[in-house]
Amino acid sequence: MNKEELIQGIASGDSRALSKAITLAESTRPEKRNLALEVISHFGPQNNTYRIGITGTPGAGKSTFIEAIGTLLLEDPDRTIAVLSIDPSSEKTHGSILGDKTRMNKLSAHSRAYIRPTSSGSQLGGLAKNTRLAMLLCEAAGYNTILIESVGVGQGETEVAQLTDLFTLVLNPGGGDELQGIKRGIMEMADIVVINKADGDAERQANLTAKEYSMALHLMPENENKWIPKVITSSALQDKGIDTFWEKAFDFEKRITSGDWKATRRKEQMHYWTRKSVQDLLLAKLDKYEEAIVKGLATGKLPEEIAKDLVK
């Protein structure tokens, strides 16, 4: 597909054109990625969208939870959903299973839903390198609610908060060591904490865990938007707490759209991603310095000295 065909397809809601554009955005070939950037520039920013980031501990049921909340939201005929799911990559083979879509059978079959699994590659922070571009393309295609599921490996999963309006943390029932393991980094960023799998024998434990996290959150600094983080319990399998999640999420949406916080926050995020893009481009140029690095080390120079000489 050429640029015009991609633009026409995305504007008409053609999921094939959208998938092709995202594939171009994820390409390591500059000419393909530049084509995707031209398509995104054509549509411009879409400000009337709601971006929700979802992360959490492994095995917390994030994919099942996303299908439950997505299915419920689509009962509103004015809502459309794009799910960007990031899978971890193997350090040995660099491959990913990309199985999240198979765990969202009901949602993936819906006419107003689009699901795109992506490998994280070598990126840290829980996202793929070009998740932001994929999100912008989904918004250009008319999806007004974007759900981004990060890799989910612990307290380093905070970059998704630099991409979304609402940051959701999904956890298993059980506190203590898990509460210590998450630590402040990710807890300070959470707008809603969901204790999932609150069913059967685990329901009582989930309620206790929710109380522990509620108390822990009271010790955190106040959020920039003055929002008090909410802790809820849910069972994605039994559709318990799913309506409560959206109640809190819509309360949050009203809060951030009532003033200029959302616009300000998105400008801050643009600044963050501009700096990150510059860093990525600079890192990509390191290969041409490899010979100088090897020679410098062979002469006994310190790494800091070599770096200083190379960037003069």
Whether 183 and 234 map to the same domain: the answer is yes
Burial of 227 (0-12, 13-18, 19+ CB in 10 A): middle
Inside any domain, residue 267: no
Strand partners, 82: 114, 146
Pair of tokens at residue 206: 């989930």
What is the chain's pLDDT, residue by residue, as a tens digit (312 residues)? 899 999 999 999 999 999 999 999 988 888 999 999 999 999 998 989 999 999 888 788 899 999 999 999 999 999 999 999 987 654 444 444 455 556 788 898 999 999 999 877 555 555 777 899 999 999 999 999 999 998 765 545 568 888 999 999 999 887 544 555 455 567 778 899 999 999 999 999 999 989 888 887 877 777 777 788 999 999 998 999 999 999 999 999 998 888 788 888 999 999 998 998 888 888 777 778 888 899 999 999 889 888 888 877
Whether 136 and 159 map to the same domain: the answer is yes
Measured between alpha carbons, how far is 194 from 139 in angstroms, rounded to an integer?
Answer: 26
Q: Which residues lie closer than 8 Å to 299 by C-beta, 6 or more apart? A: none
How many domains are contained in the chain?
3
Whether 161 and 205 map to the same domain: the answer is yes
Strand partners, 85: 117, 149
DSSP-derived letter for residue 167 is E
Whether 164 and 198 map to the same domain: the answer is yes
Pair of tokens at residue 231: 């802790």
Measured between alpha carbons, how far is 270 from 163 in angstroms, rounded to an integer?
Answer: 9
Helices 131-140, 30-43: inter-axial angle, 10-degree rounding:
40
Whether 247 and 123 map to the same domain: the answer is yes
Q: What is the pTM of this model?
A: 0.86
Taking the CA atoms of 47, 98, 234 and 236 in sequence, report the sign of the dihedral they define: positive
Give the DSSP H/E element, type plus range, for residue 52.
Answer: strand 50-56
Measured between alpha carbons, how far is 9 from 12 in angstroms, rounded to an integer?
Answer: 5
Inside any domain, residue 180: yes
Inside any domain, residue 305: yes
* Residue located via tokens 């002469």: 299
Give, in order, the Cα–Cα distances in Å from 301 to each of 118, 285, 286, 308: 41, 21, 18, 11
**Nearest alpha-carbon partner for 113 in 13, 22, 46:** 13
Whether 108 and 119 map to the same domain: the answer is yes
Asked if 83 contacts 123 with a C-beta cutoff of 8 angstroms, the reply is no
Whether 189 and 293 map to the same domain: the answer is no
Whether 285 and 246 map to the same domain: the answer is no
Domain encompassing residue 208: 46-258
Inside any domain, residue 144: yes
Inside any domain, residue 266: no
Identity at 218, one-letter amino acid code: H
Radius of gyration (Cα) for the chain, nearest Å?
Answer: 21
Residue 10's domain is classified under what CATH number?
1.20.5.170
Whether 76 and 162 map to the same domain: the answer is yes
Whether 9 and 94 map to the same domain: the answer is no
Residue 241's domain is classified under what CATH number?
3.40.50.300
Asked if 72 contacts 246 with a C-beta cutoff of 8 angstroms, the reply is yes
Whether 212 and 64 map to the same domain: the answer is yes
Inside any domain, residue 268: no
Inside any domain, residue 74: yes
Whether 229 and 302 map to the same domain: the answer is no
Inside any domain, residue 263: no
Asked if 195 contacts 173 with a C-beta cutoff of 8 angstroms, the reply is yes
